[in-house]
Amino acid sequence: MSRIQRLKEGRVREIIELVKAEGDRAVKFLTKKFDGIDIEQTEINKEVSGSSSNQVNRQLKDAIAAAVINIERFHVAQLPKGIEVDTVPGVRCKLVYRPLKRVGLYVPGGTAPLISTALMLGIPARVAGCSELIVCTPPPVNPAILYVSSLLNARVFRIGGAQAIAAMAFGTQTIPQVNKIFGPGNAYVTEAKMQIAAAGIPIDIPAGPSELLVISDETAIPKFIAADLLSQAEHCPDSQVVLISTSTAIINETLNEINIQMEKLSRKLTAQKSLGNSFAIKVDSIPRVIEISNTYAPEHLIMAIENPNEFENEIVNAGSVFLGNFTPESVGDYASGTNHTLPTSGFAKSWSGVSLNSFLKTITLQELTPSGLYNISSTVTTLANAERLDAHANAISIRLNYINNRSKNEIL
């Protein structure tokens, strides 16, 4: 572990402990320290949230409304059905889904207020049936984030950073403790999520700086690839974008296009720093490209190759996949309907992105008739005795004795 990583872990640990110990007082102190803003009240009242509609122009409202429809449609389609099975005669087993009651949604703000993250987290939470949404976002709070939060009937708190994660994890005098924490953030937010997860508080995924991998062949369009790579490079200086291609010509043309397009970006300096973490690779075949991609396990994967559908089943490690030259990653970030909260840093090898199931939990139920107890009793008692757990076996035999002491016809 590097010295910088140790310092970051230590600093985040101090923040978490301070918020646990002092609650709102610590939150206000840390907000002044890191954001340079004094906050008298952490929560933004409903009247202010409601009035945010007046600060959002019609074009943006229409775009939000269109995105809501698509995101909601895709997540409603994910609503699971419970199951009910008779595993043996008289033994009925069920699995049912229940929504998490109160969820914490972290929405990054600052120079890039992520309105889309409020949509991507809040809509599936509401579709799942979560009764209370707690949104934390750094001050000053963007009016569009407030507007989306009001549409979702969410409570909004003007705090960000590791202190917001700690406040939602443990609760303060005004910020409720939540059942699970969702949302991306900078390196300190991610570290805070990892530390509170280690303390036993659920999180969605380890979501760090954004990343994009583009795989291409000679049919790719360099202008498109450059635009896609820059769309992720502009997120933050720690973002990483990668191009792997079977064509040297495509790589060279893409690099040239990046230089041309970057000059027009408002976040040019951020993109330049991100490109310092990035690279392009030439390989000999698409199977080799896919092998490297599965090893890298990207957050976002664009397959700018001929007939990408032929290879989609070979992609086993990726957060979200974009097939073909006319499927930019931006559509997934905003409005196609899929969720943009995805695993980074190789975690796509074992973690999934946020989906409707992220806001649900399962409960199993079982119900036995007396005859069902007879049918399964030998299996249970044999296994219990083999494990030397006499009380487990006794829970069966004591019921069998009860049945035997009564009329079997009466009970069965």
Query: In angstroms, what CA-CA distances link 320 with 287, 323, 337, 354, 370?
Result: 19, 10, 12, 11, 49
Same fold, 3-204 and 211-352: yes
Tokens in use for 277? 């973490």
Beta-carbon contacts of 410 under 8 Å, excluding residues fewer than 6 positions away, are none
Q: Is 299 a catalytic residue?
A: yes
Average pLDDT over residues 245-260: 97
pLDDT digits (tens, 9 = 90+) for 165-183: 999 999 999 999 999 999 9
Percent of the chain with pLDDT over 70: 98
Of 184, 269, 260, 206, the residue nearest 233 (C-alpha) = 269
pLDDT digits (tens, 9 = 90+) for 134-162: 999 999 999 999 999 999 999 999 999 99
Is the pLDDT at 112 greater than 80, yes or no? Answer: no
Q: What is the pLDDT of residue 412?
A: 53
Choose, from 300, 306, 310, 410, the residue flagged as catalytic: 300
Specify the CATH class of 211-352 in words: alpha beta
Give the pLDDT band (50/70/90) at residue 49.
Answer: confident
Q: Are 5 and 118 in contact (CB under 8 A)?
A: no
Mean pLDDT of the chain: 94
Beta-carbon contacts of 228 under 8 Å, excluding residues fewer than 6 positions away, are 212, 214, 302, 328, 329, 330
Best mean pLDDT range from 11-20, 34-43, 50-59: 11-20
Of 240, 182, 241, 189, the residue nearest 216 (C-alpha) = 241
Is the pLDDT at 4 greater than 80, yes or no? Answer: no
In CATH, the architecture of 3-204 is 3-Layer(aba) Sandwich (3.40)
pTM of the model: 0.92
Average pLDDT over residues 216-228: 98
pLDDT digits (tens, 9 = 90+) for 57-85: 999 999 999 999 999 999 999 999 999 99
SS3 364: strand
Choose, from 299, 306, 367, 410, the residue flagged as catalytic: 299
Sign of CA dihedral 253, 254, 257, 263: negative
Give the pLDDT band (50/70/90) at residue 46.
Answer: confident
* Domain ranges for the chain: 3-204, 211-352, 370-411
Give the pLDDT band (50/70/90) at residue 50.
Answer: confident
Kindly list the strands in the beta sheet with 102-106, ordered across the sheet, starting from the edge strand earlier in the chain.
Answer: 43-44, 155-157, 132-136, 102-106, 180-182
Distance CA 97, CA 100 (A): 10
